[in-house]
Amino acid sequence: MQRFLTLIAVTAALGLPGLVYAGGPEDQTGAAQRSPAEQPAMPSTDPTSPYATAPQTDPSAMAQSSVSTLESTRLAAIVPSGMSTQEACAGFRSVEECAATLHASQNLSIPFADLKSRVTGGTKLGAAIHQLKPDANVRAEVRKAEDQARSDTRSPQG
């Protein structure tokens, strides 16, 4: 019992100076907690601030900015006529996924709109190819399309 009381006393003694030093309750980072009225109106950009927030990134905005840089590359050459690269890649999780779908469509003569609707709907590229062209060698075609996509989206060397 005496050991238990000693443990409690030591814990309290070590914990109280931290509260007194900070002038109030602390969060887990050691920074004093503020009441909602004291919190900054705008999130801090200072990374050392406990109220700092990371910049919010919109995946579709990132994909669109990446796609815009591809407008004048090899990828633009395989986009179906009457469609911009940005229109073609809208809805994909990444530019690489869009490029692989474009290449698979072209390589297998599958309408891009059909393949895109399945892939952007959550179906994996291989399964979508199998649904639309059951006699295709799915593994080889997916590998080929992904290799072509990597080649198209890779930054120029040199």
pLDDT tens figures, 65-85 = 455 555 446 788 899 999 999
Q: Mean pLDDT, to the nearest integer, of 56-61?
A: 45
104 in a domain, yes or no? yes
95 in a domain, yes or no? yes
Number of domain units in the chain: 1
Q: Mean pLDDT, to the nearest integer, of 37-50?
A: 48
Sequence-ordered list of residues with C-beta below 8 angstroms from that of 129, at least 6 positions apart, any chain = 104, 108, 110, 115, 136, 138, 141, 142
21 in a domain, yes or no? no
Count of other CB atoms within 10 angstroms of residue 84: 13
Structural domain for 128, as ranges: 59-153
139 in a domain, yes or no? yes
Please state the pTM of the whole predicted model: 0.57
145 in a domain, yes or no? yes
75 in a domain, yes or no? yes
The 10s digit of each residue's pLDDT in 119-139 is 999 999 999 999 999 999 999
Task: Return the pLDDT at 39.
Answer: 47
pLDDT mean across residues, the chain? 73
107 in a domain, yes or no? yes
Based on its alpha-carbon atoms, the radius of gyration of the chain, rounded to whole angstroms, reads 28
1 in a domain, yes or no? no
